[in-house]
Amino acid sequence: MRHPIGTLALAALAGACMARSQAHAQTASAGAGTTVQDVVVTAQRPDAQTLIDRKVYTVARDLQSTTGTAADVLNDVPSVAVDADGNVSVRGEPNVTILIDGKPSAQVSGAAAALSLLQLPASEIERIEVLTSPPAQYKAEGSGGVINIITRKSRKPGWSGDMRASGGDHGRYLLGLDGAYNAGALKLSGGVGLRQDIKQRLTTTNRLEVDPSTGVPTQSAESIDEHFHRLSPSVNAAVDYALNERQSLGAAFSDRWLLGHRYFDQHDVSGAPDDPPDSISDRLSDGH
């Protein structure tokens, strides 16, 4: 005969095991029926990266990239300076080679490079790479460094375009209209632009030099008064056809003008500090 207490204990243990089994079955059933949504991870390229041979600056999120020009964007890049005429220097060295998408371009080389940078829309630039120690193939012409301008290539199939306008004080403004057509392997692009600059420069320089052999001091003074009204219209067009993933054929055309009035007056005086000047010269330029 079984003991009543033992029978009750066995019944309680069996009930607990059955309840735990049912709870486990319910948990497994609920877990099997749960659907996990897709997980999307979003990341952004850092604004500045330091690689082995270059420094990369992403300018797509810069305010200048929406309304400015390539000269405006380059002037915000560390170690790069662009003067009022569009001339570029890296760490004070003006002998700089400028590439577009890793290739030499007539648009940003030669005497027209400065004007091209003043008119190239910054909205076309994705990032800028600065090579302060240029590779061997660019040593001769780019001793000061190499700047590689990477353009945006995220154009969707079909027609696209953008219009930009910006203004400043003293009548300065920039207008531009660009369009593109993307049909797979064939890509067409073109645009027109108009930029007006009104600038004035007043500089005064005083120097005191001592001849190391005679110890005689010489004092010189230079003053420059320059102001100009510059109007720069431009037009450009390009076609590119991809033969395969690694080869393509392309052609580009650009035409730019430099119009306006310029006044320049430079006055130089030199001589002993307390004596009448030995040399006086004046250079005057007034015209278009």
59 and 135 belong to one structural domain: yes
What is the per-residue pLDDT across 231-245, written as a single tens digit (0 to 9) for each?
A: 889 898 989 898 988
For residue 5, is it within any domain?
no
Cross-strand partners of 55: 50, 130
What is the per-residue pLDDT across 211-227, written as a single tens digit (0 to 9) for each?
A: 888 888 889 999 999 98
Which of 46-55, 97-106, 111-120, 228-237 is the most confident on average?
228-237
Last residue of one domain, picked from the residues 94, 119, 154: 154
Amino acid identity, residue 174? L
This prediction has a pTM of: 0.58
62 and 173 belong to one structural domain: no
pLDDT at position 5 over 60: no
Residue 62 to residue 48: CA distance in whole angstroms: 12
For residue 168, is it within any domain?
yes
150 and 168 belong to one structural domain: no
Residue 220 to residue 218: CA distance in whole angstroms: 7
For residue 142, is it within any domain?
yes
For residue 16, is it within any domain?
no
170 and 146 belong to one structural domain: no
Last residue of one domain, picked from the residues 102, 134, 154: 154
Last residue of one domain, picked from the residues 104, 125, 154: 154
218 and 249 belong to one structural domain: yes
For residue 26, is it within any domain?
no
CATH of the domain at 118: 2.170.130.10
For residue 17, is it within any domain?
no
Give the alpha-carbon dihedral of 160, 130, 232, 167, to 10 degrees.
70
169 and 205 belong to one structural domain: yes
252 and 166 belong to one structural domain: yes
Instruction: List the one residue out of 133, 135, 125, 129 whose CA is nearest residue 148.
Output: 129
Other beta carbons within 10 Å of 31: 8
For residue 187, is it within any domain?
yes
172 and 83 belong to one structural domain: no
Amino acid identity, residue 184? G
Q: How many domains does the chain have?
A: 2
266 and 288 belong to one structural domain: yes
Instruction: List the one residue out of 255, 251, 252, 199 whose CA is nearest residue 227.
Output: 199
217 and 190 belong to one structural domain: yes
- Quote the mean pLDDT of the chain: 79
Find the domain containing 119 and state its range.
Answer: 46-154
What is the per-residue pLDDT across 55-103, written as a single tens digit (0 to 9) for each?
A: 888 876 665 666 678 888 888 888 888 887 788 888 888 888 888 888 8
